[in-house]
């Protein structure tokens, strides 16, 4: 169990106290969510206040069970889990045919249960409080010090912003995985998965005026582990063993895929090393109907509130992720 909330670093002979980054990880595990959660749990510069769960890569029930099982596996059962929304908006906003396509896409990428790797049955339960209320109460009691890190559909975050108008002033900012500003989408030609799941929520979050760092496909898709990259994680920590197993199983189950993109891990990395990413200020809106459903439209604006990741030092990012996972 981690009990320390500060890290001491020796810098030119003096001791410097570094505050940990307090975060709530809003997640829909999800293969790459798994890596991101393990990173956040392992980093000695992050304090995970809780996991809030959203449906997306699988049903809410499955994503919740996956989060609980992962914490059990990692022996981190003190980290609280709060269940949020199932994020099924797309079910009512898209045609039956489009929704079927979407479901096959997510099953192909993440399997029926959301994960391509088995985890032990969890021996913990989620907390009773709704995820949205947890987000609000943590933001209020950690004013100015809490960042939200959504790596799934943005439903819970939008609900929290709507329910508590002060939330925007209480949080430090949002680092989110979603969107495709200057590149094509991955669910459709226009839409990235997390945004496609709930474009209305995404639009509300992105236009909220809150300081956002947007880690979209522009920087995440091209940062990947390759099929033959078997030495990427060389150690034997619990996390590394699980991720090796996961990558192995993903590449076996998807013989046509040679790359595993590090979408969600890069978003956690952006909290720790924002300097590895080149950011440009934009206004971002989301198309909520019609053929471009789920498209994120970015308009450059130096005064905008959304810093869009437009470039990344891929090799260094991969190295940093592997170093954190090795701890």
Active-site positions? 28
* Interface residue with ligand BDR, options 86, 172, 194, 322 (CB under 6 A): 194
* Interface residue with Ca ion, options 23, 25, 33, 218 (CB under 5 A): 33
Binding mask 122-161 toward ligand BDR (x if CB under 6 A, else -) reads -----------------------------xx---------
CA angle 270, 304, 280 (to 5 degrees): 45
DSSP-derived secondary structure for 164-201: -TTHHHHS-EEEEE---SSS--SSSSSB-HHHHH-HHH
Residue 153 C-beta: closest distance to ligand BDR, Å: 9
* Closest by CA position to 59, among listed 117, 1, 115, 119: 115
Q: Which is nearer to Ca ion, 50 or 152 (CB)?
A: 152
Residue 14 C-beta: closest distance to Ca ion, Å: 40
Residue 190 C-beta: closest distance to ligand BDR, Å: 13
Residue 110 C-beta: closest distance to Ca ion, Å: 9
Structure tokens at 151: 């790596």
Q: Which is nearer to Ca ion, 194 or 322 (CB)?
A: 194
From the list ligand BDR, Ca ion, none, pick the one residue 85 interacts with, judged by a Cβ distance below 5 to 8 Å according to partner type: none
Residue in the block written with tokens 């934009």 = 282
111 near ligand BDR, judged by CB under 6 A: no
DSSP-derived secondary structure for 274-298: GGGEEEEEEEEEE--SSTTTTBEEE
* Closest by CA position to 227, among listed 209, 252, 203: 252
How far apart, in whole angstroms, are the C-alpha atoms of residue 121 and residue 116? 15
Binding mask 207-246 toward ligand BDR (x if CB under 6 A, else -) reads ----------------------------------------
Q: Which stretch binds Ca ion (CB under 5 A): 5-13, 26-34, 134-142, 164-172?
A: 26-34
Binding mask 250-269 toward Ca ion (x if CB under 5 A, else -) reads --------------x-----
CB burial class (10 A; 0-12, 13-18, 19+) of residue 326? Answer: middle
Q: Which is nearer to ligand BDR, 136 or 156 (CB)?
A: 156
* Interface residue with ligand BDR, options 26, 33, 133, 164 (CB under 6 A): 33
How far apart, in whole angstroms, are the C-alpha atoms of residue 139 and residue 137? 5
Q: Using CB positions, name the residue nearest to ligand BDR.
A: 193
DSSP-derived secondary structure for 8-43: EEEETTEEEEEEPEEEEEEE---HHHHHHHHHHHH-
Other beta carbons within 10 Å of 118: 13
Give residues in contact with Ca ion (CB under 5 A).
Answer: 30, 33, 151-152, 264
Give residues in contact with ligand BDR (CB under 6 A).
Answer: 30, 32-33, 57, 109, 151-152, 177, 186, 192-194, 263-264
């Amino acid at each position: 169990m981690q009990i320390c909330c500060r890290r001491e670093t020796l810098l030119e002979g003096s001791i410097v106290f570094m505050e940990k980054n307090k975060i709530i990880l809003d997640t829909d595990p999800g293969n790459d969510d798994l890596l991101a959660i393990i990173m956040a749990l392992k980093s000695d510069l992050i304090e995970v206040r809780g996991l809030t769960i959203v449906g997306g890569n699988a049903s809410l029930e499955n994503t919740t069970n996956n989060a609980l099982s992962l914490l059990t596996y990692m022996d981190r059962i003190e980290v609280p889990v709060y269940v949020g929304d199932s994020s099924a908006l797309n079910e009512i906003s898209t045609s039956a045919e489009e929704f079927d396509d979407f479901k096959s896409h997510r099953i192909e990428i993440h399997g029926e249960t959301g994960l391509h790797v088995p985890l032990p049955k969890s021996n913990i339960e989620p907390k009773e409080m709704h995820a949205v209320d947890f987000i609000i109460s943590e933001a209020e009691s950690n004013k100015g010090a809490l960042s939200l890190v959504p790596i799934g559909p943005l439903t819970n975050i939008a609900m929290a912003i709507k329910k508590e108008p002060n939330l925007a002033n209480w949080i430090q900012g949002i680092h989110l995985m979603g969107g495709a500003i200057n590149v094509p989408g991955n669910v459709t030609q226009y839409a990235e998965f997390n945004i496609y799941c709930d474009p209305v929520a995404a639009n509300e979050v992105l236009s909220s005026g809150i300081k956002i760092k947007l880690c979209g496909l522009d920087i995440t898709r091209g940062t990947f582990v390759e099929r033959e990259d078997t030495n990427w994680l060389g150690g034997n920590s619990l996390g590394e063993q699980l991720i090796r197993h996961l990558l192995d199983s993903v590449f076996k189950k998807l013989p046509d895929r040679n790359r595993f993109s590090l979408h969600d891990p890069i978003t956690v990395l952006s909290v720790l090393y924002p300097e590895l990413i080149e950011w440009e200020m934009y206004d971002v809106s989301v198309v909520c109907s019609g053929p471009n459903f789920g498209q994120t439209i970015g308009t450059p604006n130096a005064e905008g509130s959304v810093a869009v990741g437009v470039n990344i030092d891929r090799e260094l990012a991969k190295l940093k992720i592997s170093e954190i996972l090795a701890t």
